[in-house]
Amino acid sequence: MKSKAPLVLMEQMVMLLVFALAAALCLQAFVKSDELSRRMEARDRAVNLCQSAAETLRDAKGETWAVAAALDHPYVYGYTRMPLNVYYDGSWEKASETEYAYCLRIEPLEDNGVDGLGKGHVSMTEADNGETLFELDVAWQEEVTPHG
């Protein structure tokens, strides 16, 4: 009578191989879902900050110094409608220009071709790959002086 031990051992090795492959696939899915979750969290933060900055820019009628003051951010330009960059680290705390993970850019547009309508653009980009997480345009009504 022949022993069945080699056959049982081979069966167990095949089962172990299948289990290892399934575990590797599950681990890969877990890592991918964690990455996706972090990405969506960053996008949600970007949406909130961009919307808040856009509302502030609209209320300030494009005056960047007023937006900087509302965001408690230093404003170094004398000109009132210069683009403003606000930097954030990976924890979404304000950061320096040299060590940041995200950049919020608030940009009033100078000449949009329509009298009485001011426009601006707000965007949030990632520092490591330059990808835009979120962006939106904003508009506000300005005073129109009669031509005469």
Is the pTM value of this prediction over 0.85? no
- Residue carrying structure tokens 């095949």: 14
Average pLDDT of the residues in 23-28: 94
pLDDT digits (tens, 9 = 90+) for 41-71: 999 999 999 999 999 999 998 888 888 989 8
For residue 44, give every residue at least 6 positions away whose Cβ sits within 8 Å of its Cβ, in sequence order, or none. none
pLDDT band with cut points at 50, 70 and 90 for residue 85? very high
* Closest residue by Cα to residue 122 from 130, 113, 114, 132: 132
In whole angstroms, how far apart are CA 14 and each of 10, 11, 18, 71? 6, 5, 6, 61
pLDDT digits (tens, 9 = 90+) for 104-129: 999 998 766 777 888 999 999 999 89
pLDDT at 148 over 70: no
Half-sphere exposure of 114 (CA within 13 A, CB side): 9
Whether the CB-CB separation of 92 and 45 falls below 8 Å is answered with yes
The amino acid that residue 74 corresponds to is: P
What distance in Å separates the CA atoms of residue 64 and residue 117, rounded to the nearest whole number? Answer: 16
